[in-house]
């Protein structure tokens, strides 16, 4: 009787491992992002060029810059929501302080939230309808003189039909 009970437990444990192993493998797989060049033009006419990873799918947007410990100064991440709407973000599992630029479909910067708090689960709101969010290293917007009302250009931002 004891042997039969142990055999049943062993089978159950094996089945649980067999069923859960694929889930564990996919949790650690990196999310892949496309890349593109993006330019920010300030009111004074200065242009700043960034190479950005693009988060356009729900999976990519959910991962964002989570678990990243560093990002080069000329890099960023562009979240493309596919439609103009109110957007909320957070910093869960994100160790880098970031500047979040909330961008309208035509490329106008609607709002900037500077130096977001790493790991915070506080909601960061766009305060209006936007189509994109650009994340840069914390403090970079002020350092480069980027402000609300400045313009963002890329192959996906400001294109006709938006």
70 Cβ partners below 8 Å, 6+ apart?
96
Residues of the chain with pLDDT under 50: 6, 9-10, 12-27, 160-162
For Cα atoms 119, 94, 130, give the angle at the middle one, nearest 5 degrees. Answer: 100
Domain-by-domain residue ranges, the chain?
1-30, 33-153
Q: Which of 115, 109, 132 is nearest to 54 (CA)?
A: 132
pLDDT in tens, 101-117: 999 999 999 999 999 99
CATH number of 33-153: 2.60.120.1140
3-state SS assignment for residue 60: helix
**pTM for this structure?**
0.81
The predicted structure's pLDDT at residue 3: 57
60 Cβ partners below 8 Å, 6+ apart?
31, 33, 54
- Burial label for 129, CB within 10 Å (0-12, 13-18, 19+), is middle
3-state SS assignment for residue 16: helix
């Amino acid at each position: 009787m004891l042997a039969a009970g142990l055999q049943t437990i062993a089978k159950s444990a094996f089945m649980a491992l067999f069923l859960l192993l694929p889930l564990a493998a996919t949790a650690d797989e990196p999310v892949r992002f496309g890349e593109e060049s993006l330019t920010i033009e300030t009111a004074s006419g200065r242009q700043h060029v960034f190479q950005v990873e693009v988060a356009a799918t729900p999976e990519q947007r959910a991962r964002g810059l989570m678990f990243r410990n560093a990002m080069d100064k000329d890099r960023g991440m562009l979240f493309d929501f596919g439609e103009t709407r109110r957007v909320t973000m957070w910093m869960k599992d994100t160790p880098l302080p970031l500047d979040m630029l909330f961008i309208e479909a035509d490329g106008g910067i609607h709002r900037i939230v500077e130096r977001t708090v790493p790991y915070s689960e506080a909601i960061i709101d766009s305060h209006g309808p936007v189509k994109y969010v650009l994340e840069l290293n914390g403090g970079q917007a002020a350092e480069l003189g980027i402000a609300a009302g400045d313009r963002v250009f890329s192959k996906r931002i400001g294109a006709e039909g938006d």
